[in-house]
Amino acid sequence: MDRLAGQITAAHGRLHPAAEPFDRHMIDVGDGHVLYVEECGNPRGRPVLVLHGGPGGGCSPYMRRFFDPDHYRVILFDQRGCGRSRPTASVTANTTPHLIADIETIRRRLGIDRWLLFGGSWGATLALAYAEAHPDHATGLILRGVFLGTRAELDWFYGGGAARFFPDLWARFQDPIPEAERHDMIGAYHARLFDDDPGRQARYAQPWLMWENALAGLQSAAVSHAPPDYARAFARLENHYFSHGCFLDEGQLLRDRHRIAHLPAIIVQGRYDMVCPPASAHALAQGWPGCDLRLVPASGHALSEPRITAELVAVMDSIRDEDRARKARR
């Protein structure tokens, strides 16, 4: 849902000025997939990889603005099946291990040894999975709205937990599904999002996306409609991943956290995040010596929540300042 974040609430005054990419790439990663990759900021700056949410959300120009373009070399890419990557909405050879391999392909293609990982929601999941698989190529993690890809988290959002706070919106999400199938909303939507009829896929994509989008912004109204192509790609990819437990072993990211225990991390977590409740961020941070968990008051899930935006920009600016101070001491 990060692709729509700028429409949920306006926090642009705290962001860095918009910057156009200095380079764009279409990288063939095999399996019929070609990824859109862009680089912004300083070509000789500190590398930072931005991992978008969803799965299926795609990156947007809004995401470039959390970084001082004079200091950072910012790399953004659309994951398999979404955004400007091709083919659109494809779930063929589209799993978490495939995405981890894609990140490694991008890193090598761009000649980067180690980079900072910046991701929220599903982007935080993927940042953790990549870092645990390749700890030697990460310099640290900046995470927002932590999602660990567990059954409990999916049950919270699609099994009625969040519905206790939003019964009207949950009823709207359930409405297209026959009552006999509502015990498994992920499965019920899967049957329709992967129907042979593209028109039927499109009809069920909107309510899937809007249920999540409606809960993302704490302080303002959510987007009520999304472009059909975007909604279809988002819904199909997200449902595909959630139907398969995010292609992770249950509890894998916490189990393997020891592999990144030496890395610094900052978690920016909305105190009232209804999409990814703070319990996951808290569990991740416990016992991680270099992890700084920042629970942001009066804030939900969206990247563009005013306090979330301000905190993330402050984090990236503080890392920039530390880099400059370290260089000055040499």
Set 85, 190, 273, 299: catalytic member: 273
Clarify whether 90 is annotated catalytic. Answer: no
> Are residue 318 and residue 194 in the same domain, yes or no?
no
Residues 90, 65 contacting (CB under 8 angstroms) = no
Among 60, 85, 90, 121, which one carries the catalytic annotation?
121
Indicate the number of domains in the chain.
2
| pLDDT the model gives residue 222 | 55
Regarding whether 53 and 136 lie in a shared domain, the answer is yes
Q: Angle at which helices 198-216 and 228-243 pack, to 10 degrees? A: 80
Contact present, 325 and 241 (Cβ < 8 Å): no
Say whether both 118 and 38 belong to one domain. Answer: yes
Which CATH number covers residue 320?
3.40.50.1820
- Residues 22, 29: Cα–Cα separation, whole Å: 22
Two tokens, residue 163: 């519905």
Domain final residue, candidates 178, 207, 233: 233
Catalytic residue among 137, 299, 301, 304: 301
Residues 176, 141 share a domain: no
Residues 104 and 253 in one domain: yes
Q: What per-residue confidence (pLDDT) applies to 128?
A: 99
Rounded to 5 degrees, φ, ψ at 95 are: -140, 170
Expressed as residue numbers, the domain containing 210 is: 159-233
146 and 166 housed in the same domain: no
* Domain co-membership, 176 together with 260: no
Asked if 115 and 138 touch (Cβ cutoff 8 Å), the reply is yes
Is position 241 within any domain? no
141 lies in the same domain as 169: no
Answer yes or no: is 183 within a domain.
Answer: yes
Active-site residue 121, yes or no?
Answer: yes
Residue that terminates a domain, selected from 207, 233, 259? 233
pLDDT at 219: 67
Q: So what's the pLDDT on residue 218?
A: 81
Residue matched to tokens 């015990």: 183
Establish if 14 belongs to a structural domain. yes
299 is catalytic: no
Residue 239 inside a domain? The answer is no
Residue at token pair 């359930």: 174
pLDDT for residue 8: 41
Written as tens digits, the pLDDT of the chain (330 aa) is 454 544 444 444 589 998 899 999 999 999 999 999 999 999 999 999 999 999 999 999 999 999 999 999 999 999 999 999 999 999 999 999 999 999 999 999 999 999 999 999 999 999 999 999 999 999 999 999 999 999 999 999 999 999 999 999 999 999 999 999 999 999 999 999 999 999 999 999 999 999 999 999 886 555 567 899 999 999 999 999 999 999 999 999 999 999 999 999 999 999 999 999 999 999 999 999 999 999 999 999 999 999 999 999 999 999 999 999 999 988
147 and 166 assigned to the same domain: no
Same domain, residue pair 44 and 177: no
> Is the same domain home to 95 and 209?
no
